[in-house]
Structure 1
Amino acid sequence: MTGKEGDYRKGMKVNKGVWKRRISIPGLLALLCLLTGMLSGCGFIEWLLEDEEDFYEEEQETEGEDGTEDSGSTVSLSERGTVISQENGKLVIDRRSREQEIPMGEDGWTIFVYLCGSDLESDGGAASDDIEEALAAYPSQQTRVVYQTGGSSYWYQDISDERLERFVLENGELQKVDERPNANMGDAGTLSEFLIWGVQHYPAERMGVILWDHGSGSINGVCFDEQYEYDSLSIAEMAAAFDWVYDSMTDRFEFIGFDACLMSTLEVANQLVPYARYLYASEEYEPGTGWDYTGMLDYLAENPAADGKALGKQICEDYYVHCREADAQQMATFSVTELSGIDDLVQACNQAFQVVYEQDDLGDAARKILGADNFGGNTRAEGYTNMVDLGMMLDNLSDYGEEIERAREKLEECVVYNVNGRLHKQAGGLSVYYPISVQGSEELQTFAQLCPCNYYYALVDKVAYGAGTGSAQDYDNSSLLQDIADLAELFGISAAGISNPTTNIGEFASVDESELGIADIYFDCNGNYVVEFEDMDELAYACCSVFVNDGEDGIFYVGSTEEIYYDYENNLIRDDFDGLWLTADGVMLPLELAESTDTCSIYACEIMLNGEYDTALRIEYDWEYGEWSVIGIWDGIDPETGAASREVYELEDGDVFEPVYYWTSLDDDTEEWYLGDACTVDGEVELTYDYLPAGYYFYSFELHDIYGNVYYTPYITQEIDEEGNIWFYPDDMEDM
């Protein structure tokens, strides 16, 4: 690639010092790849067309610890409570409903808790702790809690791990009332059987359901059974379970709540409309302490006639206090969603995203969507949930027209109460799936079956198509936007779907002039590394990636930073790297940006804790005060199950952590992971933002396109001397 005219031998980035002779290092133009975020096949509508497997008719079979097969429950299209169709270009929403809703009891409350203990119980007794919280509440004759326990290999309470057990908490006493053979708590039939039994034996004027365990957002669902290979209740399975309960009831549940991570989503809310009046859930991960059951039951003891809205507000407030007591309030989110407003919200969102979809500049829309708050990590170190705040998404798109503003208004009408911590202060209460980084074709198929808005789905499909082809300019979605009797059939059952994608996740991806509209890569007259574009339509954002030479035949990945200058007027970006880096007690930390807001940035740093535990250290940079601080350690998203860890742990005195560094060879494709120097915690971890140690480093732009793909530009050599001065040694631009 040819450079600009002028002198680009630049030594120091500041305008002083002597010129240094260029050093040519063979292999420095080898291009690395960060994980690509989207699949590289064609649009994913076509893939579902080719897929003959019927998700809703599929018999799910899992194997328990005893080796027996759990037959699972068949989820049939005919048993769905919601059918969304399209007629004359408009959505038509048809849901199960009753001519008259009659309370099933004369007064009081019954709350059914589906307590899937999983490793949260076996590793630390979190489920047992919540039972103890409930027992500590004021006794009440008008409120009862009915539990079904299962899903854990060990219980701290006197609860069996060999069968399902049912308990009733009433008047301050917990009594076992029933037991059943062991079964998969991640199966729709297990949930429905418990609730059918429950509403028959313990009806009340108002009834609620709490699903307790790990959550994962819209894709992998909730309730991961430890004894059945962590099988979970998908959103489709969960909706089917409530549909099977429907005929045993004369009224809806007052609420369906999730004491689980990441479950306050539009996709979840849409599925639950026929079965409950309110949704209680968190957009973000929940701390291990979860809900405050003492506070909830104390409130009902004093206010037995409270409705779901009033109770939900109290649970929100108690939840935030509970988080604050656990020093976890900064990441807290919790909301109460009135499900009767979801139809209007879905209709408004469909119209809003039609406007977005029809924009000529897809890049502008994608950048605005990616600028919204997201939940659950979404980094390589922590895993991806791809859950993005719907409210902030609409706020960022607001200049597209009144349709966007109308959808935002409908969201505010639905979310009747919510609380947010400092790091999510603008969260709107409901998240929605957006493909920040897709981990496989099954994820996209699952979303296809859940998405309630065809134009939003078309937008996501357009992005997926661009990920596979490098551009969405020739994208054709005519099959998506035609009239059809059931969007579920179009979106993943039998009529259409996504193309069978292949993924380049984990492979090397170099960038050249044919990609991202790159016009040139060069050094300017001030010694800044510059990438110039024909246009920046397909660039979402960029980071700078820094590597350090191991002194032999390889390089270590130091991490990425946000020190990039964007010049949209001239269609270019240039580096703003100053050689400063974060260290903990003098040890360099391999940082990866997790999220960034107007007030702070959150970074993830992969570490080995106490010599045996691979996890991530979460670190915050406060833009207002210019301060770094440790949030805690978080295990992130389980790569096998998709379950989000519920606990952010504080480092304790005596803990030893070692940064985990990625290493790759300059001679071949060999890659390894190495541990850095150990840090022993003694009080507060000392974070210092200082110059990198003197030595040779390699620098590259990490370019993220709007389709989720990530590329490196050719990287160049830089030297940081003892005074912190940065010297660059670019190869001839012709070699780049």
Structure 2
Amino acid sequence: MRTRPLALITALGLVTALAACSASPEDPAADASGSWTILTYSIADTNLEEYMMTDLEEIGDVGTQKGLNLVALVDRAADYTDEGVLGLDDWVGAKVLEIGQNSATVLDDKGDVNTGDPAVLADFVSYGIQNYPADHYALVVSDHGASWPGVGDDESSDGDSLTLAELGEGISDGLAAAGLAKLDLLGFDACLMATYEVASSLAPYADRMVASQELEPGHGWDYRAFDAVADDGSATVDELASSIIDGFEAQAKDEGDDAEITLAEIDLTQMGAVDAALKAFTDVLVDNAAGIGPTVGRSLAQTLGFGQSPDPDQDSFMTDLSIFTSQVGVDLLFAADAADDLTRAINDAVLDRVDGQATKGATGLSIYFPPSEPYFDEAYRELPNSGGWIDFLNTYYGKGGEIAQGPVIDQNATVEFGDDGVTITGFFDPDTAANLASAFIRYGTVEDDGSVTFLGEEDAFLGDDGSASGTYDLTHLSLSDGYDTMDAYLSLYGDYDTGIFTADVPLSYYSPDDAYGGDLLLSAVVDSATGDTISTTYYIYNEKTGTYGEFSPKPDWIIVPQVLSVMPDGTEQWYLTSDVGLYADVDSLVYDFPALASGTRLYLQLVVTDFGGNRASVAATVTVP
């Protein structure tokens, strides 16, 4: 389990500022101005269609005008909304539009196309550049994002998406056909795309990239930000990027979902330096492989993560690269110089960024790092290894596999009730304690058949004395629609310094006639000091892309909380808490944290994991006083 504390970005007393920095004076893109053509590749043949029609209306608020051309390929779905947009009636399939002032002109009716085909992207890029010549060009790709696996989910084409290789192919071929060397700006209005892998792979095709490390709210960007380059032709690419970031933040605040936002502008011309610095850093770690495992594991467990889920099969395993690097540099003196160089290179590449209360300190670029090899996706090996990251992961997982003895914990746990709830403490064999990387507790009620219905999990702490401990406050989450009330599973993680925590709640979604609609994740950001819920967002899991996207449940549909059941033989299974469920009118749902009733038989389990993924646990059954 990974936590989300705000990490210390300091190495050997050298503080590397992670605030936005300005482009270097040698960078020609920083000073260039003139006319613009902005191309939007809108993959709206998904459950985001309604949001993306609103995006088109925002583009229409700006509209094509002197010095600014706004062109979009819009592939619409058959199922999600039948509303027209910009004066056009609803349609199914793809159309290329010139977007005017609150209007649109159809340039090409393409019918049913596969937006996951790089040739379709290439054709749109070349068409837009050749037919709308300008001094500067931007391409924005909008849909579900999945970090290094790519972007898009064309539902009428069997959920086909654009991999990183296909994105590069589509953009490169389109630029070549139009006779253009590269774009000024490449944007992803999509989840999880601000990653090292994306930026490094696509650096040859654009000077700048704007993308998010975390899941994006469904409304995505505020496209009225394009107005920044519409005035007198004096705006630069960095001013356009900053306008997009500022507009995104302002709209998220207006919508009340700014607590978990991230968005950053990346100078792709600096990615060569980031590649080299990452290679030097990973080389140092690989060369000193024998001693890095426990420190790397603990650093990963303490680093801000993105696209997280209580179910590891649905976790993106993306971690903030600069925070992770800095923490390793603090604890491994032989890696301090290389860590500082990499942190500085990332800082130079990230020109502007925004974060939220639950993503405080996000530095602009994340990287794929599953905590142990069983969670590693072999498809990742198909990516370029320019920064040596795959070599490092191979070494790290190899050392984890060499651990001769997994954690050993004394089965006589100490349990104490106090003002904060109940605390369970366990002690480890000192010969295995050195390899420990993380700890968490989970808690549940004991059923008559001896099974345990787990109600939640949260962070525990590894002590310096060979102990680990975790505290549970003896409350549990319940959801009510005014008719029925049901228990729900709560995965809680956050920053103990700021008191801002994220609560993830797994749900299932059904139509009124009981047709399965998918797995949902309710993500709520909570201020532990005040008890206030800062934001609540619903995400739906896409099995094809392997990631979540924001979702608006239909009020007459049904959501059913999931809880984890563990049988006496140790078999674990997620199951639905009810055959009835709750109405998915999310604005009317009531969240409560009632205390467990006195006399409840409570099962507490303290789990520790070493950097090789080996686990040990100690448990106790107590009665709530």
TM-score scaled by length of structure 1:
0.70
Look up the match of 1:31.
none
Shift of 1:385: 1.1
- 1:277-333 CA distances to partner (integer Å, 9 max, x unpaired)? 10011111111111111232x222214232211110111111100111111111111
Aligned to 2:365: 430
Residue 212 of structure 1: how far off its partner (Å): 1.0
1:703 to 602, 608, 614: 608
CA contact (8 A) 2:36 2:69 kept: yes
Aligned length: 566
Could you give the per-residue CA deviations for residues 684-710 of structure 1, whole angstroms, max 9, x where no partner exists?
835336345532222222223324x36
Q: Indicate conservation of the 8 Å contact 2:212/2:262, yes or no.
A: yes
* Aligned equivalents of 1:333, 1:205: Cα separation in 2: 29
Aligned partners of 2:351, 2:538: CA distance in 1, in Å? 30
Greater Cα shift, 709-718 or 309-318: 709-718
Q: Which of 439, 445, 451 is the aligned partner of 1:548?
A: 445
Q: Is the 8 A contact 1:366 1:540 kept in 2?
A: yes
Q: Give the match for residue 246 of structure 2.
A: 317
Counterpart secondary structure, 2:548: coil
Indicate which of 259, 277, 280 corresponds to 1:330: 259
Q: 2:535 aligns with which of 617, 631, 634?
A: 631
Provide, for residues 208-236 of structure 1, a one-character-per-residue CA deviation record: whole Å limited to 9, x for no partner: 10101111111x21121111111110111
Is the alpha carbon distance of 1:574 and 1:300 closer, same or farther for their aligned partners in structure 2, counting shifts above 3 Å?
Answer: closer
CA contact under 8 A between 1:267 and 1:451: conserved in structure 2? no
CA distance in 2, matches of 1:128, 1:301: 22
Alignment partner, residue 52 of structure 1: none
Alpha carbons of structure 1 residues 560 and 693: separation in structure 2 relative to 1, 3 Å: farther
What corresponds to 1:419 in structure 2?
354
* Correspondent of 1:567 among 449, 453, 463: 463
Counterpart amino acid of 2:452?
I
Is the 2:225–2:240 Cα contact (8 Å) retained in structure 1? no
Quote the Cα distance in structure 2 between the aligned partners of 1:239 and 1:151.
24
User: 1:616 touches 1:634 (CA, 8 Å); kept in 2?
Assistant: yes
**1-structure distance, mates of 2:602, 2:83:** 52
Instruction: For residue 119 of structure 1, give the secondary structure of its aligned residue in structure 2.
Output: coil
Structure 1 residue matching 2:383: 3-state secondary structure: helix
- Take 2:438 and 2:106, find their aligned partners in 1: how far apart are those partners? 56
The structure with more strand, counted as a fraction of residues: 2
Aligned 8 A contact 1:264 1:335 in 2: yes
Change (3 A) 1:692 1:575: farther
Q: What SS does structure 2 have at the residue aligned with 1:561?
A: strand
Q: Which ranges of structure 1 fall in alignment gaps of 5 or more residues?
A: 1-33, 36-100, 474-513, 725-736
Deviation at 1:674, TM superposition (A): 3.2
Which residue is 1:300 aligned to? 229
Name the SS for the 2:454 alignment partner: strand
Matched to 1:665, the amino acid is M
Answer whether contact 2:489 2:505 (CA < 8 A) is retained: yes
Corresponding letter in the other structure for 1:324: K
Amino acid at match of 2:320: D
Percent identity of equivalent pairs: 19
Query: Relative to structure 1, is the Cα distance of residues 106 and 550 closer, same or farther in structure 2, using a 3 angstrom cutoff?
Result: closer
What amino acid maps onto 1:336 in structure 2? E
CA distance 1:235–1:138, shift in 2 (3 Å): closer
Match 2:337 to one of 402, 407, 411 = 402
Other-structure match for 1:515:
406
Which secondary structure state, in structure 1, belongs to the residue aligned with residue 116 of structure 2?
coil
CA separation in 2, counterparts of 1:349 and 1:637? 32
Q: Is the 8 A contact 1:433 1:447 kept in 2?
A: no
* d(CA) in 2 for partners of 1:615, 1:222: 20
Distance of aligned partners of 1:378 and 1:192 in 2 relative to their CA distance in 1, 3 Å threshold: same
The answer to whether structure 1 residue 112 and structure 2 residue 42 are counterparts is no
Equivalence for 1:48: none
Distance 1:670 1:208, change over 3 A: closer
Partner-residue secondary structure (3-state), 1:274: helix
1:182 is aligned, of 102, 107, 112, to 112
In the aligned structure 1, how far is the partner of 2:39 from the partner of 2:73?
8
Structure 2 residue identity aligned to 1:459: F
* Distance change (3 Å), C-alpha of 1:389 and 1:636: farther
Deviation for aligned residue 1:446 = 2.4
The separation in 1 between residues aligned to 2:565 and 2:587, in whole angstroms, is 29
Distance 1:522 1:686, change over 3 A: same
Rounded to whole Å, the distance in 1 between the matches of 2:33 and 2:469 is 69
8 A contact 1:663–1:674 mirrored in 2: no
* Secondary structure at the counterpart of residue 563 of structure 2: strand
How many Å separate the matches in 2 of 1:310 and 1:180? 34
Task: Note the aligned Cα RMSD (angstroms).
Answer: 3.4
Deviation at 1:679, TM superposition (A): 6.8
Gaps of 5+ in 2: 3-27, 417-422
Distance 1:160 1:525 in 2: 62
- 1:295 alignment partner, SS class: helix
Look up the equivalent residue of 2:133 and give its one-letter code.
Answer: P
- Greater RCO, 1 or 2 (C-alpha within 8 Å, sep 6+): 1
Cα deviation per residue 1:627-671 (whole Å; 9 max; x = unaligned)?
A: 252732422542332243134x5998x997543223343258584
Are residues 679 and 238 of structure 1, via their aligned partners in 2, closer, same or farther at CA, if it must alter by over 3 Å?
closer
Return the letter of the residue paired with 1:690.
A
Determine the C-alpha separation between the residues in 2 that align with 1:557 and 1:282. 33
| Superposition deviation, residue 596 in structure 1 | 4.5
Residue 148 (structure 1) aligned to one of 73, 76, 81? 73
**Cα drift, residue 714 of structure 1:** 5.0
Cα distance change of structure 1 residues 190 and 688 upon mapping to structure 2, 3 Å threshold:
same
* Alignment map for 1:63-212 (pairs within 5 Å): 107-122=34-49, 125-137=50-62, 140-150=65-75, 152-154=77-79, 156-157=83-84, 158=88, 163-170=93-100, 173-180=103-110, 182-212=112-142
Equivalent-residue separation in structure 1 for 2:469 and 2:384 (angstroms)? 41
The answer as to whether partners of 2:263 and 2:355 remain within 8 angstroms in 1 is yes
- Aligned residue for 1:232, secondary structure, equals strand
Distance 1:226 1:695 in 2: 47
Which residue in the other structure is 2:299 paired with?
368
Shift of the 683–184 alpha-carbon distance from structure 1 to 2, 3 Å rule, reads closer
Aligned residue number for residue 97 of structure 1: none
- Whole-angstrom distance in 2 between the partners of 1:424 and 1:598: 13
1:370 to partner: Cα distance = 2.7
Partners of 1:382 and 1:636 within 8 A in 2: no
Please tell me whether the aligned partners of residues 276 and 339 of structure 1 are also in contact (alpha carbons under 8 angstroms).
yes
Match of 1:694 among 585, 599, 602: 599
- Aligned mates of 1:598, 1:203 — CA distance in 2: 52
Shift of 1:152: 2.7
Distance in 2 between the 1:305 and 1:376 partners? Answer: 38
Which residue of structure 2 aligns with residue 598 of structure 1? 497
Pick the structure with greater CA Rg.
1
Describe the SS at the equivalent of 1:194. helix
After superposition, the Cα gap between the structure-2 partners of 1:658 and 1:650, relative to the gap in structure 1 and judged at 3 Å, is closer
Counterpart contact for 2:225–2:244, Cα < 8 Å: yes
Is the 1:166–1:177 Cα contact (8 Å) retained in structure 2?
yes
Q: Which residue of 2 aligns with 1:26?
A: none
The residue type paired with residue 222 of structure 2 is: D
* Secondary structure of 1:446's aligned partner: helix
